[in-house]
Structure 1
Amino acid sequence: MNKDTFITLYSRDIKRLRAEIEQYPSESALWARLPGTINTGGNLCQHLIGNLRTYVGLTLGGHAYTRDRDAEFGQRRFSRARMLDELETLERIVTGALEGLDGGKMLEEYPRTVLDMFPEQPVGVILTHLLAHFSWHLGQINYHRRWITQVQSTQP
């Protein structure tokens, strides 16, 4: 894939994530745990922000960021309003970092180890992996939001 395709796909999915967060019926619904699960929609969203800020924004774009992965899953770091602001910032950072990549850069080795199973990790492969990871969690958030919305709409 070329950078324009990555920009289109990342931008699309960050906007989809933003739409999911906006559709939660309440702030508390964002943090509700489903039976048999460990992650809330809010925690998964925080995780996606931290992941892309680290692996795209910081590593490829040079945007300062200090990640606390444990807090992404264990704390309510952002209100819903702040989360939506963070997603707007994330889209600008990610698309800006991707704009700076030329065709040759996609073939260069990614400067951090991400996938232990691959001895070579070109930037394009890592960007594909990160996009798949993002989409996987976006689907989980969609399911969480639909389930929570259904439960809350059926309660008196």
Structure 2
Amino acid sequence: MTTTIEILRSIFIRDLNKLKLEISSYNNDDRIWQIEKSILNSSGNLCLHLIGNLNNYIGAQIGETGYIRNRD
């Protein structure tokens, strides 16, 4: 029987691997910080938000890692 934790772990791993693939497809690391045409946020900024959310909600809240989010 698959547990909720195992299901969530597999979803997070799948999605984070997809994100890693997308970010690694940039030919130049500086490009992840550029804003293109009608896109309001750079890829790098979106990744920072994802990392913060994962650390705060999954790590600190569920995993009790002791992580403290330091932002305005």
Q: Could you tell me the TM-score, scaled by structure 1's length? A: 0.41
1:124-135 matched pairs, under 5 angstroms:
none
The alpha carbon displacement at 1:66 in A equals 2.7
Alignment correspondent of 1:43 = 45
Cα 1:5/1:16, change in 2 over 3 Å: same
Q: CA RMSD in A?
A: 1.7
Distance in 2 between residues matched to 1:61 and 1:26, nearest whole Å? 35
TM-superposed deviation, 1:22? 1.3
**For 1:32 and 1:47, how far apart are their aligned partners in 2?**
16
Unaligned runs of 5+ in 1: 71-156
Runs of 4+ residues deviating >6 angstroms: none
Report the equivalent of 1:30: 32
What is residue 20 of structure 1 aligned with on the other side? 22
Please give the secondary structure, in 2, of the residue aligned with 1:36.
coil
Amino acid at match of 1:20: E
Q: After TM superposition, give the deviation of residue 36 of structure 1 in Å.
A: 2.2
Q: How does 1:35-114 map to 2 (within 5 A)?
A: 35-68=37-70
TM (norm. structure 2) is 0.83
Secondary structure of 1:52's aligned partner: helix
Paired residues in the alignment total 70
Larger radius of gyration: 1
Deviation per residue, 1:108-144 (Å, 9 max, x gap): xxxxxxxxxxxxxxxxxxxxxxxxxxxxxxxxxxxxx
User: Residue 62 of structure 2: SS of its match in structure 1?
Assistant: coil
Q: Which has the higher helix share?
A: 1
For the 8 Å contact 1:50–1:69, the answer to whether it is kept is no
Work out the percentage of aligned pairs sharing the same amino acid. 36
Aligned CA distance change for structure 1 residues 5 and 65 (closer, same or farther; 3 Å): same
8 Å Cα contact 1:47-1:69 kept in structure 2: no
